[in-house]
A and B are shown apart, each in its own frame.
Chain A
Amino acid sequence: MKVGVLALQGAVREHLRALEGVGVEACAVKSAARLVGLDGLVLPGGESTTMSLLAEGRLLEALRVLSSGGFPMFGTCAGMILLADEVEGREGPIVGGIDITVARNASGRQVDSFETLLDIEGLGPDVPAVFIRAPYVTRVGPDVRVLARHEGMAVMARQGRILVASFHPELTEDLRVHRAFVDMIRELRREGEPG
């Protein structure tokens, strides 16, 4: 299995290391051509405005085609903003794919950034999570399953083959969240097999 990490900017190295840690081949993706042959794609944390400016043209178009076509994608922090169908203060989604609304930097400035343990559905009550100038999910669509909350707010969710988290599992040594994404890809591949 080969999983890409969108490598325009941000925490690319950490995601590559975590994916390799759960036993899949991982590669950095900077252009639409590099999306060919992948089984899934991680959209990492970084600055969402910068990424949306860099992901113009063919790459952005290719990402939109993939996310609307059921290709497995996992967005963390800025990656979640890219995949949200609605971003507060912005006309239309950047890539889109999951029926949520997000507010950028809603948790405050860097002095309010924090780490904590999350209770994540199917993964356990003690998953370490780092929140850095994190976006908030302010609306969750009816077909979206919330997998974790922090102080009542959705911080991890899934719809179809799109997984999003407002925190950074890649900044910790705990690989459970990346394993869950890879398991999701495997599960979908099995479903796709004939007979």
Chain B
Amino acid sequence: MEKGTYRVKSGLAEMLKGGVIMDVTTAEQARIAEDAGAVAVMALERVPADIRAQGGVARMADPSKVREILKTVSIPVMAKARIGHFVEAQVLQALEVDYIDESEVLTPADPEFHINKWAFTVPFVCGARDLGEACRRIAEGAAMIRTKGEPGTGNVVEAVRHMRRVNQQLRAVLDAPEEELMAIGKELGAPYSILLAIRDAGRLPVVNFAAGGIATPADAAMMMQLGCDGIFVGSGIFKSSDPAGRARAIVQATTHYENAELVARVSENLGEAMPGIDIATIPEHEKMQIRGR
């Protein structure tokens, strides 16, 4: 009997496919998310929209909040650690969260290096803007990938950009003759071994979710049609006027993403979506997606 194997780590992510993972800051929000059909919740101190608005250093959530959320719901509980902050990750593992998100939404703790995720029994999910970044995180031990998008904006454009880019680059890797692979790897900044794993699997070897700016059922269905495996919703639910209704609608739209009539029906009368931000108005250094390497 063996715990913490890569198959066990990536296996949990496989079980979440086709589902919605929702950001929550309290046990009450976690309960609303579970009742709406979320496959997991993500515990954090403040949702991305508040971090963006309030500024300051964003850190791991208070362990007492995480414990409360763990006690409240029966679905998996994820929690965010700062990029490179391996002690926050150790703390979250000690709390027995089910997944750690080494996340650009929080203020990075290490300007150069990510956490060595192989050193942990608990699995990690990491953000990526392109295939090279996804492969580097997988090589560091991440068992699940998500697009970075631009968190806290309610604007899906960056998630679309990142998902399309990863898929374009995947096609190039899968179509290339063997002898071109090393040069492609060098250009992408992708470890050769992971490219071989991609060709072996015919796809990314781990699950790839969409995250960063998803605010409506149609946003979620579009990301699913673009080929992602599932959806993270950060600020989109609890910054909207009817969190429970919107959460249920996004779950339905994610499952039945090819059924436009159903997406239309669940999108009716949801009230105000979260206020959005045009990416062009965000100064380059304030973009969360540029954090990490």
A positions within 8 Å CB-CB of B: 7-14, 30, 45-47, 49-50, 53-54, 77-78, 104-105, 109-116, 130, 132-133, 168, 171-172
Contacts and interface: CB of A to CB of B under 8 A. Distances in A.
Interface of B: 1-5, 7-8, 11-12, 14-19, 34, 36-40, 70, 74-76, 93, 96-99, 121-123, 251-252, 255-256
Given A11-B14, A111-B3, A111-B122, A49 B75 contact: yes
Contacts of B93: 111
Contacts of A50: 19, 37-39, 75, 251
Given A47-B15, A171-B11, 18 more contacts: A8-B255, A9-B17, A12-B18, A46-B15, A46-B17, A47-B16, A47-B40, A47-B76, A50-B38, A50-B75, A53-B37, A109-B96, A110-B76, A110-B99, A111-B122, A114-B3, A116-B2, A132-B15
Contacts of A10: 14-19
A115 B39 contact: no
B5 A115 contact: yes
A114 B8 contact: yes
A172 to B, nearest CB: 8
Nearest to A112: B3
B34 A110 contact: no
A113 B14 CA distance: 14
Question: Which applies to chain B's interface (DSSP): helix, strand, loop or mixed?
Answer: loop
Contact of B121 (A111, A130, A171): A111
Contacts, number: 110
Contacts of A7: 18
A111 B14 contact: no
Nearest to A54: B255
B96 to A, nearest CB: 5
A105 B70 CA distance: 12
Contacts of B14: 10-11, 14, 45, 171
Contacts of B256: 30
B39 A105 contact: no
29 contacts: A9-B17, A9-B19, A9-B39, A10-B15, A11-B17, A45-B15, A46-B15, A46-B17, A47-B19, A47-B76, A50-B39, A50-B251, A53-B36, A53-B37, A54-B255, A110-B12, A110-B122, A111-B3, A111-B4, A111-B93, A111-B122, A112-B3, A113-B8, A114-B3, A115-B7, A115-B8, A116-B1, A130-B7, A172-B7
Given A49-B74, A50-B251, A109-B96, A130 B16 contact: no
A115 B252 CA distance: 32
B209 to A, nearest CB: 13
A109 B66 CA distance: 14
